[in-house]
Amino acid sequence: MLAVTVIAGILFTWAVLSHRLARWSITAPIAMMVAGILLTRGDEPVFRFDFDTAALEHVVEVVLALILFVDATEVPPGVIGREKGTVARLLGGALPLTLCAAFLAALAFFPDQPGWVLAALATVVVPLDLAPTSAVVRDRRIPARLRDVLNVEGGLNDGIVSPAFLLCVAAAVASHTRGEDYTDALLEAVVSAAWAVAAGSVIGYSAGRLLRRSYAHGWTQPAATRLGVLTVPMAAYSLSVALGGNGFVAAFVAGLCLAPAMPHLPRDAVEMTDDLVALLSLSLWFLFGQMVNDEFWDGFHLSVVLYAVVAVTLVRMLPVLLVLSGNGMMSRDKLFLGWMGPRGATSIVFGLLAAVELPAVSGGFISRVMVITVMVSIVLHGLSAEPIGRAYARRARARPQTPAGPPG
């Protein structure tokens, strides 16, 4: 219980000083990670968490399920309508190319690793998480259009990658099991995803319809609506698992199916779920601090660091620049979207799940690369956030103003 008290104290301290800390791009996830590093380091650390594999798998799946659900429900439909061309290029073109680039880069840096393990690694290091650099999406010096596109991409990116992650991990597990048939493993993963889609669709659509009608007829209250929304990802997750499906994919699909009803519900309908996700995610970042101590300080190969740098820079930037060519967007805006691809909670959860599912050697390898990749992303994207904002502000001041017309 002392650990809970300390984590709560750290969160409270950040809440009191959040505005001042934001000047140095110190977000809540970064603060919790640093606290985790300091308090779990050394031969006799203040805290030491022993990860029980079965319990860990369920906990991180639930955390990811809630993250994906909130991401899906908070994607603003108006932005998708206004920027459907850019969003379609990023998710339908740049994302598959980024996954391929991450896989090819992994083949070059880690030729001794099995192919399916490297494919699973690619799905771990690609998903976006804007939380570590949340100041960017709130920075009004950056054009609203770019911030809106990033929000939509960040909300849908990880849910789209999730089925690919499941398939690659299933194949990687089969590659380590003598006599295991890849076809059976992949078929099982596809069936699991199908049950997840079915469970998420039924729960999300039914809940959205019922909540909307109930609120329209005055049968419920805002507080009760918030509680009702919170039950949706839990129901989708548990039903999917009971049917043999994947829980976090079901939660994401439920969020997509519930999203059309959100404009007809109270504005704070998802607030309770969002707050719970924030709390669980920050606890995850604290545990990530111990992972940093376990993986980072014990020594690592240069190839891991180089791959991490390539994964958070060129692996994303080149596909984004390629698919956005010819769409009329200014070059600096394309560079901004290509550069601003921070990694965070989704990569951590995927890495933990891969470490649980795969044999120790492959699981440890993916976990190690994930830790370094997230750390590199925090440094590069965190340090660049304020300079990017200042650069856009300078360009806005330098832009010539349209002269006023003659008086009428």
pLDDT surpasses 80 at 60: yes
Alpha helices by DSSP H, 23-52: 28-39
pLDDT surpasses 50 at 130: yes
Distance of CA 259 to the CA centre of its chain: 18
Give the angle 375-380-382 at the CA atoms, nearest 5°. Answer: 90
Q: Which residue type sits at 325?
A: S
Residue 281 has a CB neighbour count (10 Å cut-off) of 24
Mean pLDDT of 269-277: 88
Band of residue 298 on the pLDDT scale cut at 50, 70, 90: low
Confidence (pLDDT) at 310: 96
Confidence (pLDDT) at 139: 79
**Residue 349's closest CA among 359, 337, 357?**
357
Q: How far apart are CA 82 and CA 327, in angstroms?
A: 14
Confidence (pLDDT) at 297: 61
* 182 or 316, greater pLDDT: 316
pLDDT surpasses 80 at 396: no
3-class state of residue 341 by DSSP: coil
Element (H, E) at 240: helix 222-243
**Residue 17's closest CA among 30, 1, 36?**
30
**Average pLDDT across the chain, whole number:** 84
3-class state of residue 329 by DSSP: coil
pLDDT surpasses 80 at 262: yes
Q: How far apart are CA 116 and CA 182, in angstroms?
A: 10
pLDDT surpasses 60 at 34: yes
Q: Which residue type sits at 106?
A: A
Report the percentage of the chain scoring pLDDT > 90.
32
Q: How far apart are CA 30 and CA 35, in angstroms?
A: 9
Lowest mean pLDDT among 51-55, 337-341, 389-393: 51-55
pLDDT surpasses 90 at 38: no
Confidence (pLDDT) at 408: 42
pLDDT surpasses 70 at 253: yes
pTM for the model? 0.86
Cα dihedral value 310, 341, 344, 193, nearest 10: -100
Cα dihedral value 190, 192, 194, 196, nearest 10: -140
